[in-house]
Amino acid sequence: MSYLLGVALFALAILISVSLHEAGHMLTAKAFGMKVTRYFVGFGPTLWSFKRGETEYGVKGIPLGGFCKIVGMTPQDDDVEPGDEKRVMWRYPVWKRTIVMSAGSITHFALALITLWILAVSAGLPNPKFPNTEDGFKAEPAVIALAPCVVVENAARGCQAGDPASPAAKAQLQDGDRITAVNGRPVSTWGDMLDVVRATPPGTATVAYVRDDKPGTATVDLAAVQRPPLGDPKGATSAVSALGVALQPSTPTRVQYGPVAAFGATADFTGNMAVQTVHAMQRIPQKVPALWTAVTGGERDVDTPISVVGASRLGGEAVENNAWLVFFMLFVSLNFFIGVFNLLPLLPLDGGHIAIAWFERARSWLYARIGRADPGRVDYLKLMPLTYAVILIGGAFTLLTVTADVVNPITLFSR
């Protein structure tokens, strides 16, 4: 039940975000004097609506987004009533049109930033000093956190009923113990410990540790497991030993901030997220084959894109496991991604309209400098083949990600 509640909550959060996106367009357009005739949440048949002034507000039957209708977005639009010619959007200065068209993405960025600031003050943000690479984790001291079990064949799936107990827990090692040697072979880092444990035959082994600054030893029955090589999680598995522990990093995973310091932490985190978002978007074409593999029965790559369906499922998992920080970080990441994606200079995205507006402005300026007549506005009708191509490609990619999220979803927690 908690899982379904989480899915519904995350889907509702997405719907509210998209509705606020459209509200950003509407409010800025109205502020500049443009005519907005409709603002609806959802698509399809109208369930309820009312009219205030010149704008109809309402809710439609398919809760998969929303829209607002600004009169005369392009010179080719035929929705202009007599007397409204001066209020059509395309006649306004380019800077005003830019604000209106970017208001949706700005709304998504604002939602992400506000949520991050609240998290920074209340729950904390990810610690920038926390190791985020495999080499960084390997360099950490060999301080352990007991695992609930040992997964013999596929460590990525997490513990399930019937898996053997952790050898370290059975030997009464404790969270926070720092391993110093295995069968007399000294270790100082987590990477050292992994190498030594894997090289030790399964069975009885002597583990030296330090607990509360006092040395000790324990006799551990190392488990025999199948694992891929370190540094190559997709490599062929082989028989190695396992201690049944996880790394307990020396640095906290999160840092909580005061109300003022949270602004700087939010800005720093947002900058890192912007870089990661750009890199993720650059990798999208490379991930299409991996998505197809997931749809056709192969293993789902955790680095493949997800749709709103996949994001909602992950939100459900987060609520089911009481991981509310994960829930809200998913919300932040999705809003930031939508905000950036929507600014791409492609029709029918908002960024496409912005790019055309500034192209027209630059072209008019150039023609004036060289003494030629202003060529006027761009004919959107001539751009329709390119627009349809973008819609077709985007629709196919969305269908692929949705299908992958239904038949072979990414999971963050074992269920």
Rounded to a whole number of angstroms, the distance between the first and last alpha carbons of the chain is: 13
**8 Å CB contact between 292 and 387:** no
In the residue annotation, 320 being an active-site residue is answered as: no
Q: Of 317, 319, 294, 321, which Cα lies nearest the Cα of 305?
A: 294
What DSSP element (H or E) covers 116?
helix 94-122
Cα dihedral 46, 51, 56, 59 in deg (nearest 10) = -30
Q: Which of 22, 140, 153, 299 is catalytic?
A: 22
Asked whether the bond before 348 is cis by omega within 30 degrees of 0, the reply is: yes
User: Residue-wise over 19-54: b if at least 16 C-beta within 10 A, else e?
Assistant: bbbbbbbbbbbbebebbbebbbbbeeeeeeeeeeee
One-character DSSP codes across 368-393: HHTT-----S--GGGGHHHHHHHHHH
- Reading the block at residue 17, the tokens are 């975000």
Calpha distance 165→143 (Å, rounded): 19
Q: What distance lies between CA 295 and its chain's CA centroid?
A: 21
Which of the residues are catalytic? 22
